[in-house]
Structure 1
């Protein structure tokens, strides 16, 4: 049974969900999600003898939402993970992330390999620092229409998304899933009309896909009662993160690693990402298998394909647990 509590970490309070006993596995959600995105992983991992903990990361759900934009840098986010591991009485843990949670997981392994027994990323591949700040790069390439740049404008995306939170989440989840028409096209990441907003022409399903229930949507909607600002502040730190991680230019993720993504996910189709994924076996010294591609799966990897994701995670974790 999944239980919930608050825990003090890195100067803030985090809401965590947990189940099981054994080696610690920390599950990190992405945007626009919460701990609930891992609902299909708790039981199987706990039954296999692991202690599973999924926080609402800072700025999300029941956790603290610092007001300062700078409080959402990658160093803060990694600090939360390291602090959480230690607050739970452990020295090391397996760290698994999806979407934004994946860069946090990868950076935790990059910056603090001493606390990471193994790292797995879903959708977003490992962070190899580019030569230019990412927000500035995307702004120049797409004329400000890339969704990162839309998100970086204070108050703009908040206003659009908060007008009808449930409809926003329904559209975001469906449009990036493998069920949506044209899923996996990189142009999905572009805002067609900056005045009308990102979701103006997003598909809105009359019936939810099989992997998402009305109850799931209720739970997620409730977690955004405090709005979207905390979550969007993660994007507003992308250029700052690039500056802060300069000392790790050229460094590699050294702990044992696993990467999983869907072939209808728009993120692996971002400019330069397909080439990066092809090179991962050479770039990642401890990648335990070639990147696992899930046919027909969109962006919400562990929700759309829980059986395949659980099998891959259990193979990876079990091999490393002893």
Structure 2
């Protein structure tokens, strides 16, 4: 499978391993794409799994809506459910890094019946992140999100930092260059930045006076997560701090493992592929 469709959207994917093996779906973060998993995928395939890594909404050319409200977590998670359907699977093990990790939390919350296990890399539970914004210096680490709300300026601001931003935060020059080539124009960053802009729009809607809000869906109801889950976090992550990482356990009632990778930074799939694959396989195999 090279692509799949959801409505009018067409997503590009990399599909590896035997088609009849248990399915692992890998979700990239920002500003990355499915290339993030090039070092992790062979390790999972060698262990006997089918591995699909999509370019997500805003990254696939055929799945880049223009509206800033087109990227809520509910829709991003539903994109993954459509991928699982297209792959012919009833359930999947899901793994996500950075923004992909936020989608993982949403999938585990809203689609538990379709998720065999979940592994998030770097990204805390959203309520743990909000708590850390109020009780730690996480707000400093996340202050760039305010700039990302400004059209035209944000795209050009990010573009000027590539590829140096990746290298300064721990990625190899080779991996950094492939992303700089991928995001080589301001227009190529508008879809990815839509994730941040839609998040802000959703928070504004949530702040409105109480009333029944159409389309609130699963995001309006949050209980503890029961899906078997692992959270992998690098102790030198420049974007996401320890407070939110440790707080996340409070929002999970099912089997859960918090894995610290000592000395690792934010770019876990590219820089720490063996540790990532080991954590994913341990979680996946614990459900078999």
Q: Shared topology, TM-score over 0.5? A: yes
SS at match of 2:236: coil
The whole-number CA distance in structure 2 between the counterparts of 1:91 and 1:176 is 38
Aligned-residue offset at 1:254: 1.5
Q: Deviation string for 1:189-227 (max 9, x for gaps)?
A: xxxxxxxxxxxxxxxxxxxx6xx253x344323432552
Structure 2 counterpart of 1:174: 167
The whole-number CA distance in structure 2 between the counterparts of 1:64 and 1:93 is 22
1:30–1:99: 8 Å Cα contact kept in structure 2?
yes
Structure 1 counterpart of 2:3: 6
Map 1:159-308; keep pairs closer than 5 Å: 159-162=156-159, 164=160, 168-177=161-170, 212-214=172-174, 216-225=175-184, 226-242=187-203, 243=206, 244=216, 247-249=220-222, 251-269=223-241, 274-289=242-257, 291-308=258-275
Aligned-residue offset at 1:69: 1.2
Gaps of 5+ in 2: 134-138, 207-215
Distance 1:279 1:71, change over 3 A: closer
The whole-number CA distance in structure 1 between the counterparts of 2:69 and 2:249 is 34
Number of residue-to-residue matches in the alignment: 268
Q: Deviation string for 1:218-242 (max 9, x for gaps)?
A: 4323432552000011001123344
Distance 1:99 1:131, change over 3 A: closer
Aligned-residue offset at 1:100: 0.4
The whole-number CA distance in structure 2 between the counterparts of 1:39 and 1:63 is 22
TM superposition score normalised by structure 1: 0.76
2:71–2:199: 8 Å Cα contact kept in structure 1?
no
Structure 2 counterpart of 1:158: 155
1:99–1:122: 8 Å Cα contact kept in structure 2?
yes
TM superposition score normalised by structure 2: 0.84
The whole-number CA distance in structure 1 between the counterparts of 2:189 and 2:225 is 31
The whole-number CA distance in structure 1 between the counterparts of 2:62 and 2:169 is 25
Aligned-residue offset at 1:280: 3.8
1:107–1:127: 8 Å Cα contact kept in structure 2?
no
The whole-number CA distance in structure 1 between the counterparts of 2:226 and 2:201 is 24
Aligned-residue offset at 1:127: 2.5
Gaps of 5+ in 1: 135-140, 178-208
